[in-house]
Amino acid sequence: MADLREDPYPDVYVGGGFSDPAEASLPGTPPDGTTPPDGTPTTGPGPEPGPDRRRAMWRAGRIPGAVAVVTGLVLVCHSFVPNTPGNLGSLLETLLPWTGLAVPALLLAALLRRSVPAVIATLLLGAVWFAVFAPLFLGGRGDAEPNLTVVTHNVNADNPDPAATARTLLAADPDLVALEEVTDDALPAYRKVLDRRLTHSVHIGTVALWSRYPITESRRLTIDPGWSRSLRALVRGPNGPLAVYVVHLPSVRVGASGFTVARRDDTLTTLDRFLDHERQKRVVLLGDLNGTTTDRGLAPLTSRLTPVEDLAGTGFGFSWPAAFPIARIDHILTRGVTPTDAWTLPATGSDHRPIAAGLRT
């Protein structure tokens, strides 16, 4: 019998065949391929992350994940945010579309932290945001052709060039033009331009309406005692009478006391009473409402009339401030007519941008 001591490296069976003895694991080498106690590196797959490392990866995205969850809850449950103190609920709802900026910021933070839960939470936030605001982009009325184009613009009492502003509005080829903050000094300049193509008009206080179609009656609406900046007119439109409201609601401010909307909301209550008694089936309201349609303060109005952007599917259409619009506070709302399109006109000498809509009466 051969002396085994003469062959110190016998063949070793590895994975179905015999390997070179020099490639076999030597005594003392851990089977999982990690570095042995003497520090000599070995080949093979690295270790699976341990429980501590997995917990650290989950903890790394706690902040962006939590922010995404809270933002999503605000989007869905903003109506439950209390309006006291300082009408914070209304302020939040005014700026609600801007919560979408949180999605790319949080997604970047989650990726940098390599946190799968935070990525999932942020993607869910994006889905919630899209679900809330999708109607503004996915609406539309198919192939309906407009037979009435309307424009509204807060022209600013300090507008340096009323004539140029009027020409910008006429570029939309409107049938109705509603203006707010029209001063007595600027009125002749607006008339000189607009009267050439819109031969019917009415001016009451600081609001005015020009029309391609006859205005059969008009009257002042007293919705804010001490101010004269709202009117109602009856227009003989292409398919019958149309009640047209031109409205400029009181301004709101953000200050030490919060979001000051009390006076605006009071005038809205009065305006709602006028609309309750409106007998015409077709109604168009144009003007500066100093609030967005997501603001709970405008809910009584939007429950009676529909903002054109909700049906036209043309996006947010922010109108103020003109230099960098952050909110749509100028509106066209309707009842009994079909909005086919809505858009924002180029900036003028005003701090607001004009908005326009195509309607099918």
CATH number of the structural domain spanning residue 248:
3.60.10.10
pLDDT of residue 17: 45
Cβ–Cβ < 8 Å for 13, 24: no
Which domain does 318 fall in, by range? Answer: 141-360
Give residue 288's pLDDT: 98
Is there a contact between 224 and 250 (Cβ–Cβ < 8 Å)? yes
Query: In this structure, are 127 and 178 located in the same domain?
Result: no
Same domain, 290 and 158: yes
- Decide which of 70, 98, 133 is a domain's last residue: 133
pLDDT, residue 91, reads 95
Nearest Cα neighbor of 232 from 212, 216, 213, 251 is 216
Q: Examine the domain organization and report whether 304 and 228 are in the same domain.
A: yes
Question: How far is it, in rounded angstroms, from Cα 129 to Cα 72?
Answer: 8
**337 and 198 within one domain:** yes
Quote the pLDDT of residue 46. Answer: 53
97 and 233 part of one domain: no
Q: How far apart are CA 342 and CA 151, in angstroms?
A: 10
For residues 295 and 277, membership in a common domain is answered with yes
Computed from CA positions of residues 347, 157, 237, 199, in that sequence, does the dihedral angle turn out positive or negative? negative
Ordered mean pLDDT values, 10 residues apiece, the chain (361 residues): 49 45 48 53 55 64 92 94 92 96 96 92 96 83 84 98 98 98 98 98 98 98 90 97 98 91 94 95 98 94 92 84 96 95 96 97 94
Is 0.85 topped by the overall pTM? no
Nearest Cα to Cα of residue 149 among 346, 332, 347: 332
The domain tally of the chain equals: 2
Structure tokens belonging to residue 302: 């939007």
Domain edge (last residue) among 133, 166, 197: 133
Res 353: pLDDT: 98
Same domain as 279, residue 207? yes
Classify residue 288: in a domain, yes or no. yes
Reduced to 3 states (helix: H, G, I; strand: E, B; else coil), residue 220 is strand
End residue of a domain, out of 90, 112, 133: 133
Please tell me the predicted confidence (pLDDT) of residue 9: 47
Query: Measured between alpha carbons, how far is residue 109 from residues 112, 113, 157 in Å?
Result: 5, 6, 46
Residues 332 and 282 in one domain: yes
According to DSSP, the residues that pair with 148 across neighbouring strands are: 359
Q: Domain for residue 339, yes or no?
A: yes
Q: H/E element holding 59?
A: helix 51-60
Instruction: Quote the pLDDT of residue 140.
Output: 66
